[in-house]
Amino acid sequence: MVDCHHHYTREEALYLGRVLEELGFHWMEEPLNEYNIASYVWLANKLDIPLVGPESIEGRMYTRVEWILRGATDVNRYDAEWHGGITAAMKMVHLCESLGVRLEIHGQHEANLQVLGAMSIPGEYYERGLLHPTLDYEAETPWLAEKHDPLDRDGYVLISQKPGMGIEIDWDFIEKNTVKPWG
């Protein structure tokens, strides 16, 4: 999979997409500016590799239904944290299910993990973290009592069975690191 993060022109995205097809890549994610739906439709009609998007554009499910109806991508992308919470994300899940469109959940947040676990048409992947030379996705989050998305020995992400989002906050850490207001 390649996440292009909006950096290409139409022609560059077409060239890259054809090379990725030859190399057997699984998908190409958001190669163009997401406000240019016409370019995505153009690109989707020229490539066999699945296009994934939109990811960061505003408009929650209202924008994404336009993408689906216009054939701008093959796989839709949604993030509960960025686009209206769990309820809005579940609406997107049901919309994609109704229209027969694959949906991938974006990001490693607790809300996204809960949505992924509740989907009747499961996404293929949980985006736990991208490869990055300075980020350690296995490091503990200090304000949580435990990791919110631990891996089992086979590399599967476990979804907490605890109430709510399944996270436990380390209130001692919060108290020790709270900044007192001025005055």
Q: Considering the domain 2-127 in this protein, what is its CATH number?
A: 3.20.20.120
pLDDT at 80: 92
pLDDT > 90? residue 160: no
pLDDT at 97: 93
Average pLDDT over residues 126-137: 74
Share of the chain above pLDDT 90, in %: 55
The model's pLDDT over 83-115, given as tens digits with 9 standing for 90+, comes to 999 999 999 999 999 999 999 998 888 899 899
Would you give the end-to-end CA distance of the chain in angstroms? 52
Which SS3 state, helix, strand or coil, does residue 183 take? coil
pLDDT at 7: 87
Average pLDDT over residues 3-19: 94
Which residue is listed with tokens 């989707």?
44
Q: Whole-prediction pTM value?
A: 0.84
- Which pLDDT band, with edges at 50, 70 and 90, does 131 fall under? low
Question: CA of 23: how far to CAs of 8, 19, 43, 131, in Å?
Answer: 19, 6, 18, 20
Cβ partners under 8 Å of residue 176, min gap 6: none
Average pLDDT over residues 132-137: 76
Whole-number mean pLDDT of the chain? 89
How many other CB atoms are found less than 10 A from the CB of residue 154?
5
Question: CA of 8: how far to CAs of 20, 32, 45, 49, in Å?
Answer: 14, 5, 17, 16
Average pLDDT over residues 143-169: 86
The model's pLDDT over 164-174, given as tens digits with 9 standing for 90+, comes to 888 889 999 99
| Residue pair 49/17 in contact by the 8 Å Cβ criterion | yes
- Which pLDDT band, with edges at 50, 70 and 90, does 130 fall under? low
List where CATH 3.20.20.120 sits in the chain: 2-127
Between strands 2-3 and 102-105, the pairing is unpaired
Share of the chain above pLDDT 70, in %: 98
